Structure formats: structure tokens, C-alpha cells
Structure 1
Amino acid sequence: MTAYRYGEYQDGPDPLAPPYDVRSALDEMGDAILSGSTPLDALRDLLKRGLPDAPDRRGLEELLRQVRQRRRELRENTRLDGTLERARALLDKAIGQERAELFPDPSDDARFREAALDALPSDTARAVQELDAYDWRSAAARQTFEELRDLLRREILDSQFRGMKEALANPDPEAMERVRQMMSDLNDMLDRDAQGQHTQEDFESFMRKYGDMFPENPRNLEELVDQLARRAAAAQRLLASLTPQQREELAGLMAQTLERAGLADQMRRLGDSLYARRPDLSWSSPERVSGDDPMGMGDAVGALQELADLSELEAALRQDYPGARLDDIDEAAVRRALGRSGVDDLEALRRIERELENQGYLRRHRGKLELTPKAVRRLGETALRRVFASLDSSRRGDHDQRDAGAAGELTGSTRPWRFGDEQPIDVVRTVINGVRRGTADGRVRLSVDDFEVSETERRSAAAVCLLVDLSYSMALRGTWAAAKQTALALQALVASKFPQDSVQIVGFSNYARVLQPDELAGLEWDMVQGTNLHHALLIAGRHLDRHPDFEPVVLVVTDGEPTAHLMRNGVPRFEWPPSRETLELTLAEVDKMTRRRATMNVFMLAADERLREFVDEVARRNGGRVFAPSADRLGEYVVNDFLRARRRT
């Protein structure tokens, strides 16, 4: 029998998890958009925070914080002169051992050797160079000096090729010869690539021979060049980060070591090729580090390479450059810095960005991110749900009712179905029509002509005008988002519950204009002076006149008295305090509304005395009501008042 064992899935996100509900992401963006943010800024803010309903997934801000913490740790724990310091220590040890061997010897040769040791330059590189030809009397000193040479060879090669230090742990002439052959083959491969003669087979053959020298396992020549160039650039930054004296000594030791190993020409050739291919890398910028424990050259170069990678990753995670997208973030860099969990978090954020576009909520038009009509409808539905959630249960009315009688009471008669009908289907009559038409095999097959609908009583329709103040003072008082959310909620309510109604939303500042549903969410306030309610009422009046048989409903949301009117030549005129002409023309349009039997209800968002006097006069002339809701309850007041008016009709 086959035995099975079950456990928690460990290799990334759960493959059986339900599909991601991107609508909650859109709702999170909606709050920022309604407050005046662009869709692009709202999306960036969402990606930075992450979703509240996914607390186990980090947003860009948390990922960025951890990257910066890792950079800080590297800076505080990295010291770059470890190889130079260790080389000096080994040199001093070798000289000390040689002096100990010479001291008991009274010969002139011993004194001559001591004089030569005394004359050695203080520069470590020059001292090592002079001692290359020295005939050591002490076997221990000779061994220490060979240890110094071995250290330099391993560290310098490791600084250029990651992992080389381990490959050369045991001095072996054959190993060094293999390194020389590898560098020659590598340079030849790069030359062929520059001439357009390189193939993937050439790279695979190279890796079969020398793959153990490249622990990062590049898949092609491009990846290999990127890895080598980044490490070579980090080695140059290491030299640039040292003091001038340290830089001169270490550079001298590197040159001597490569020359002695027979690698100087090949290394120079490789360096020139790498720089020509990746001049965009930072090759000579010093790095500020402040560690206490000295690091070997290979480890120090690795630390500087990681610091460079973290700097690039930090810039990508900030997403603060034009055209920034999450696809710009290097997944491999995230994996190196934050592990597999960081990659999973990044993929979750990418899924949000990707699905918002794939599911039709966002679109890119001429490089600009825009909300689609589907997204605007979703925001309106969300705004409407929030409004209904705040209404008292005793005043909820029938707005949640979705039965078949929503279009009116049934009359008992039926008629053939026509495209666009909203009346309920009469199933019995429809099936009877299919039976009467009949078929040769006796089966009932319905066609479009068979369908009949139940006729309903005509339900009264309303012509709704919502006039929304767009003046800059709405933004200053913090009521702008509430006004937009209210407009979206009312639009959604009429479209879903009262499709027979005709709704028009008019925005007004120094002049008025009709606002389409699709532009409501991204609408911004006007940086102009003037509250031209006169022009808004003119436009609303024309809308009511186009629907003479509809019940007129006029709702005004404003935080200031009229300060502008439309002159005969079509140009708005602003005056503060309001001129007598502005008030008279505005009140004249109020009187016209009264003659149209349109009740005007005003929602006053400020406690200004002049505004109160004006709206009281409007109420006196028109018979409408005045409300003074707080910004967070504006939607509740407007929607509830509209529902009250519809129940009355």
C-alpha cells in the first residue's frame, strides 16, 4: 500500500486559495480618489500601505523599511581594509621571524640582511615587492610570506569572481593554471559576442568546463556579464572608499599579485570589456561604512555589491519616478534582500495592479491611469452602501427591495416582449406560446417571439437635479470628498432603483457645467473665485423643462452664498460681497423653480450668517427645506431626502 503524508504547503502562496477580490482594492483607492487624489496616486498609496484585509502581506512601505534596515546594518558592520590589515600583520610577522633568526648570528651577512629589513619602505605593497627577491634565512618567515602571497591571491581573485577564495584554498599550480585558462576563454567568448559570433551553445560549453567557479549559476552570457560587472564595479568602489594611502597600498598589492599569477593582462582585458558593456553601473563612487570588524577583500566587495543592489532596490520600491510600475522591481534582488516571503509579497502587490486593469477597473490612456465606467459604478455602489449603512432602520424605506414589482403593480394583462423591457416575464404564457408553435419531434423549443411580459401600472418618474458646489472653499473646509461621494451615491441609487428617473448632476463655481457619471470620481475642485448658483439653476431648469411630465426634484449642496452670476454675453461675473444683481438673478431662478413645482432642498455645509440668510429666503420663496448636515452625514441626508420625495410620489 502507498503511504501518504500531509502537511502545510510551504512553497509560496496557497495554489488552492480563492481568487483575489480586487474590488476591495478599488474601494480602498476610492476613498483617496474621492478626496482629490488621481487614480495613479491612489494606486501608489494602496500599494505602499498594502490591503487591510490581507495583514499577512506587506506593502511597499514595509518592504522598503526592511531594505533600508538591511542597508543600515551593512554600513554599520562593514570595514573595508581587512585584507590590507591582515597583509600588514603577516608582513610584520615574517619580518619579526626573520629578525629572530638573524639576531644570534654574528656574521656580516646577518648584519647586512638586518640593514635591508630596516630599509624596507613603510608602504606595504612596496615592501612586499622588495621582499619578493629576498632570500629568507628563516623557514618560518618564508612560510609566513608565502601565506601572505596566498592570502592576496585568493582575496583579490575572490573580489573579482565570487567564490574563488574557496576554490583556491589549497595552493595548487594546476588550479591556478585552470583559472588562467578560464579567464582566457571568458575573454575570447566576450570578444566573439562583440563581433556577433557568440551562441548559447558556446556559453553552455564554457559553463560545463568552469561552472564550479560561478556559484550564482548564470543562464546565459548576459547574466554572467551582469554578475561580473556588478562585482568588478563593487571592487572599484572599495578602492574609492579607502583613504588615499590605503588605496595606493592595496592597488599595489593587487597589481603585484595579478602580475605574479600571470593574470594581469587577462584581468585588464576583462575589466575593459565589462566597463564597456555596463558603463551605467557606479564604478568609482565611495561608500560610507563604519564597521569595527575588518572584512576580507572578497567579503568587503560582496558587502558593497549588496549595498549597491539594495540602493537600486530601494529606488525601485519607492516608485516615485515617472511611469513607475511594479514590474520594474527586480524579483531576484527582492529574493536576495528579503527572501522568498518578500517575493510573495511583491507578487501579491503586482496581482492587485494587474487585476485592476485585467478586470476592467483601470485603463492606461496616453500614459495616464484612468478609472473606467465600471470602476465609477463600483465606487457609486460602495458610496451608496455606506450611506445606507448610516441610515436608521426606521427610515430605510424600500431601497433594498428587489422583487418583481419594482416597476409598478401588475395589471393582469400581458404583451409580447420587446428589447429593453424591464417588466417581469410571464412564464406560463411564454411556454404556452412555445407549445402552440410546436415542433416535428414534439419537443418544446422557445424562440424570442414566444416571450411575453406582464404589464404593470405606470410608475411615476422624477427629473432629479443635484447641484454641487465646486468652489475652492469646499476643499478648504474638507467637504469636497463628501460632496463627490454623495453625487456618486445618488447616481448609483437612481440607476439601480429608479431607472425610469432622469438624473442630472451640475457642478458650479464661477460658472456651471453638467457632470457626466464617469467623470465624477476623478473630478477636482476649481481654483477660481465665485459660487455661480444662478448658472447652475439655469441649466437645471432646462433639464426639468425637457421632462415636463416628470416629478421635479432639485437638491443643492453648497458651503457659500452666491457670489457670481452669468451675464448676457455668457461671461460669469464675480463680486464679493455679493452684488444685488447676483442675488436678484439667482432668486429669480429660484422663483422659476417654484413655478415649475420643483421643491428645492438646500444642504448647507457651512454656518456662515450670509449663507443662512440666503437659504432661508430660498426656503421662504420655494417652500423647500434647509439642512445643515456635517460632512460625514451629507450622503445620508441627501439620499434620505430623495427617497422621501420618491415615496411621496
Structure 2
Amino acid sequence: MLGYRFSEFVPEESGQNADFESLLKIFLQLVTITGGDVSEALAWLNNLDKQYNITSDEYGMGNFIDDLKGKGYITDENPEGRFEITGKSEQTIRRSALEEIFGKLKKSGKGQHKTFYSGSGDETNTDRREYRFGDTLNQISMTDSLRNAQINHGLGDFRITEDDLEVMENEYKTQTSTVLMIDISHSMILYGEDRITPAKKVAMALSELILQKYKKDTLDIIVFGNDAWQIEIKDLPYLQVGPYHTNTVAGLELAMDLLRRRKNPNKQIFMITDGKPTCLKVGIKYYKNSFGLDKKILNKTLNLAAQCRRLDIPVTTFMIASDPYLKQFVQEFTEVNNGNAYYSSLKGLGDLIFEDYRRNRRKNF
């Protein structure tokens, strides 16, 4: 008898559905780059089709656009009749960013981070202890308790008393409040280098990570240019740079204000930027200096770094640049705050943020 023979399974392509999925991946990347401009993304996709023949005679761009509408990725139901992405697209973009940046992430249980404390917590571990008043029934290890009862009382007079009960220890879990600051100054697209798209992808991946895996955590997102303001997670695909300077002080002040409202003890700030602070608001006017490190702006920024340290709020800076004088600023800022700093290529930015997010969450309080 030969039995069963196993070979590599190669699934068959599902025709038009496979064509749609392939084009959808490209389309979502282009929508992210264009800041949510569907018409511009489709124009770019058409140009790519002309150059690389990414569609076929059986499935063309017209079919793809119809499917985008039919499957609920885009809509033209607005007063102007223009194409817009839907909430389904926004979520798909975030999930794609999560897969692209945190693709090595493995699934786990409830998704909240652990401390080194045990007791009446959220998740069981392998430790055992005696029963204490207030322990719940589902914490009792019945196998261990029955064994103890047999040893203590024997089979002839079998009974279970409070002294026989063993309880499975639980681990406490904590919550983390994170503020993510994204630099949208003009330098994020200066000299033809697109730095804002990777920054957006990281922000979307981190937000989706928290929504899926760390549901008890909070994430606030801030963008900062001449001023700083808060945006929603759903706004991330539409984020674009402006003709702004870099007002790091405004971003830090808003981040600290948001974190003051959070009642849990674990707080942290992530800042993605590619340059030095160049702007400060004094009264109703802006004080700006793009040439070198201005002492007036620098001192105010460092004062806020020290204030964050006193409040036990670490700031992790991700510098998308390698200029020596910029590194000097970040090193000084990090030393004053007692935080972390990384100098990253655009390709490695996501992994660095993920590693630091995990590390900062493992704190004892």
C-alpha cells in the first residue's frame, strides 16, 4: 500500500478577484501617498498601467474602478460627485500598514502588557498559593485542591476545607497612554524625499496595533508644524505636510496636556521628526529661525523635556535624518528627558517604534 503522498500546495488564481486584490494593494499605497486623493491615485495607477501593463484585456481599469465602488472602497455620493475613500478603505489601509511594518508580530491572548506583580489580576500564570478571602471561584485550582484534600484527610474521611484550597496566581496588567507626535513641516518632503508617507504608515500601523492587540490602552495623535493640533485615527490617510516650520514646543505642550487627562500611571510620547525645532509662538506672533539651532527655541524645548522627565513621561524621538548637528540636538534633548532616541532610515522606522513601544510598556508601578 502506497499510502498518502504530500506535495506543495499551489492554489489556483481566482481570475478577476486575484486581479482586483493585486490592484487594490497598489491603489491603497497610492492613496496613502496622495493624502486620500482618489482621483490622483487613480491617475497614477493609470500611468503605471501604461508603463508596466498591470491590467489585462479581461480585467481593465474600468472594471477595477467599478469593483472599488461595488465593494465599498470608494464612493462618489457627495455634493461634488467626486470619488472619496470610505471607512472600509481607511481601515484596510491601517491593516495593510500594520502588516507591512509589524508583519512579524505574533498573536497573543488579551493583548494588554504585563507587570512583575501578581495577585488578583487579569491573566493566570503557573504560580500557586493558598486561598485568601476575596479570591474568586475561577481562580481555584481544583486538581491541586483535591490532591491536598486527599493528602490531608485521606479517602476514608474525604472532605475539602479552606486550608486545602490552592489558588492560581494572576498577573496584574496595566494600561499605557501614548501620544504620537508627527512632524508635518515642509522639510518632510524637502529635496524630493518623501518622509511623510513612512511616518503616516507607522502612525496607522501603531494605531491599528493598539486597536487590535492593546484595546485597553489609549492613543492620541498630534501633528505639529507652526502650531500643533490633535487628529483622529481616521484622518491619518489624508495627512499632508504644509508650508510650516517645526514648532516642537507646541507639540510637546499639547501632548503633556492630553496625558494629564489620562488617569493611568503609564504615559509616554513618541515623536517622529526629521529636523530640529525652528519655530516658537510668542504671544500671537511666531518666532522662526531655520538656520542652525536657535538658542531661544532650543532652551524652551529642553525645558519641556525636563518637565516631561519630572512627570515621568519618557519621550522617544525617531529622527528621520542623519545630520551631525541634528543628532547633537536629539542627544541633548534625550539626555535632559532621560528618554530614548533612534536615528533611522525610512525603511527601519516601523520596527524601531514597535520595539520601543513594547519596551516602554513593560514598567512597574
Same fold (TM over 0.5): yes
Equivalent residue letter for 1:601: T
2:283 and 2:314 mapped to 1: Cα distance?
27
C-alpha contact (below 8 Å) 1:511/1:572 kept by paired residues:
no
**1:356 and 2:68 correspond:** yes
C-alpha contact (below 8 Å) 1:554/1:600 kept by paired residues:
yes
Q: Give the deviation of 1:617 after TM superposition.
A: 1.1
Secondary structure at the aligned position of 2:102 is classed as helix
Q: Give the deviation of 1:412 after TM superposition.
A: 5.2
2:16 and 2:81 mapped to 1: Cα distance?
32
5 Å-filtered alignment, 1:212-611, equals 342=57, 344-346=58-60, 349-364=61-76, 365=78, 366-389=80-103, 399-403=105-109, 405-406=110-111, 408-410=122-124, 459-476=173-190, 477-528=193-244, 530-569=245-284, 571-577=285-291, 578-611=293-326
1:39 match: 38
Equivalent residue letter for 1:485: K
Secondary structure at the aligned position of 1:368 is classed as coil
C-alpha contact (below 8 Å) 2:277/2:297 kept by paired residues:
yes
Query: Could you say if the C-alpha distance between residues 548 and 531 of structure 1 is closer, same or farther in structure 2, counting changes exceeding 3 Å?
Result: same
Query: Could you say if the C-alpha distance between residues 597 and 633 of structure 1 is closer, same or farther in structure 2, counting changes exceeding 3 Å?
Result: same
Query: Could you say if the C-alpha distance between residues 406 and 575 of structure 1 is closer, same or farther in structure 2, counting changes exceeding 3 Å?
Result: closer
Q: Can you list the C-alpha shifts for 1:292-326, whole angstroms capped at 9, x where unaligned?
A: xxxxxxxxxxxxxxxxxxxxxxxxxxxxxxxxxxx
C-alpha contact (below 8 Å) 1:372/1:518 kept by paired residues:
no
2:62 and 2:98 mapped to 1: Cα distance?
29
Q: Can you list the C-alpha shifts for 1:412-446, whole angstroms capped at 9, x where unaligned?
A: 557xxxxxxxxxxxxxxxxxxxxxxxxxxxxxxxx
Q: Can you list the C-alpha shifts for 1:459-481, whole angstroms capped at 9, x where unaligned?
A: 31111111111111111233221
Higher relative contact order (Cα pairs below 8 Å, separated by 6+ residues): 2
C-alpha contact (below 8 Å) 1:494/1:503 kept by paired residues:
yes
Secondary structure at the aligned position of 1:531 is classed as coil
Runs of 4+ residues over 6 Å off in structure 1: none
Query: Could you say if the C-alpha distance between residues 535 and 383 of structure 1 is closer, same or farther in structure 2, counting changes exceeding 3 Å?
Result: same
2:144 match: none
C-alpha contact (below 8 Å) 1:510/1:574 kept by paired residues:
no
Q: Give the deviation of 1:457 after TM superposition.
A: 6.4
1:51 and 1:43 mapped to 2: Cα distance?
12
2:98 and 2:50 mapped to 1: Cα distance?
22
Q: Give the deviation of 1:496 after TM superposition.
A: 0.8
1:473 and 1:369 mapped to 2: Cα distance?
29
Match among 330, 333, 336 for residue 615 of structure 1: 330
Q: Can you list the C-alpha shifts for 1:354-390, whole angstroms capped at 9, x where unaligned?
A: 222232222223233222222122111111111124x
1:28 match: 26
Point out where structure 2 has 5 or more consecutive residues left out of the alignment.
1-13, 113-121, 125-134, 139-169
1:413 and 1:379 mapped to 2: Cα distance?
44
Point out where structure 1 has 5 or more consecutive residues left out of the alignment.
1-15, 59-341, 392-398, 415-455
Equivalent residue letter for 1:510: N
Query: Could you say if the C-alpha distance between residues 400 and 25 of structure 1 is closer, same or farther in structure 2, counting changes exceeding 3 Å?
Result: same
2:50 and 2:209 mapped to 1: Cα distance?
28
Secondary structure at the aligned position of 1:630 is classed as coil
Higher strand share: 2
1:607 and 1:467 mapped to 2: Cα distance?
19
C-alpha contact (below 8 Å) 2:278/2:288 kept by paired residues:
yes
Query: Could you say if the C-alpha distance between residues 51 and 484 of structure 1 is closer, same or farther in structure 2, counting changes exceeding 3 Å?
Result: farther
Structure index of larger Rg: 1
5 Å-filtered alignment, 1:69-88, equals none
1:588 and 1:556 mapped to 2: Cα distance?
16
Identity %: 24
Equivalent residue letter for 1:619: T
1:84 match: none
1:611 and 1:373 mapped to 2: Cα distance?
38
What CA RMSD, in Å, does the superposition of the two structures yield over aligned residues? 2.8
Q: Can you list the C-alpha shifts for 1:78-115, whole angstroms capped at 9, x where unaligned?
A: xxxxxxxxxxxxxxxxxxxxxxxxxxxxxxxxxxxxxx
Select between 360-369 and 372-381 the one with higher mean Cα deviation. Answer: 360-369
1:360 and 1:460 mapped to 2: Cα distance?
38
Equivalent residue letter for 1:566: K
Query: Could you say if the C-alpha distance between residues 34 and 572 of structure 1 is closer, same or farther in structure 2, counting changes exceeding 3 Å?
Result: farther
Equivalent residue letter for 2:178: V
1:647 and 1:583 mapped to 2: Cα distance?
31
Query: Could you say if the C-alpha distance between residues 383 and 588 of structure 1 is closer, same or farther in structure 2, counting changes exceeding 3 Å?
Result: same
Select between 484-493 and 371-380 the one with higher mean Cα deviation. Answer: 371-380
1:514 and 1:35 mapped to 2: Cα distance?
21
Query: Could you say if the C-alpha distance between residues 582 and 557 of structure 1 is closer, same or farther in structure 2, counting changes exceeding 3 Å?
Result: same
Query: Could you say if the C-alpha distance between residues 18 and 43 of structure 1 is closer, same or farther in structure 2, counting changes exceeding 3 Å?
Result: closer
1:378 and 1:487 mapped to 2: Cα distance?
14
Query: Could you say if the C-alpha distance between residues 21 and 465 of structure 1 is closer, same or farther in structure 2, counting changes exceeding 3 Å?
Result: farther
Secondary structure at the aligned position of 1:553 is classed as strand
1:630 and 1:20 mapped to 2: Cα distance?
33
Secondary structure at the aligned position of 1:631 is classed as coil
**1:629 and 2:344 correspond:** yes
Q: Give the deviation of 1:511 after TM superposition.
A: 1.3
Secondary structure at the aligned position of 1:632 is classed as coil
Q: Give the deviation of 1:458 after TM superposition.
A: 5.6
C-alpha contact (below 8 Å) 1:566/1:572 kept by paired residues:
yes
Q: Give the deviation of 1:500 after TM superposition.
A: 0.9
Query: Could you say if the C-alpha distance between residues 542 and 609 of structure 1 is closer, same or farther in structure 2, counting changes exceeding 3 Å?
Result: same
Query: Could you say if the C-alpha distance between residues 413 and 505 of structure 1 is closer, same or farther in structure 2, counting changes exceeding 3 Å?
Result: farther
Secondary structure at the aligned position of 1:556 is classed as strand
2:258 and 2:137 mapped to 1: Cα distance?
34
Query: Could you say if the C-alpha distance between residues 457 and 367 of structure 1 is closer, same or farther in structure 2, counting changes exceeding 3 Å?
Result: farther
Secondary structure at the aligned position of 1:598 is classed as coil
Equivalent residue letter for 1:624: G
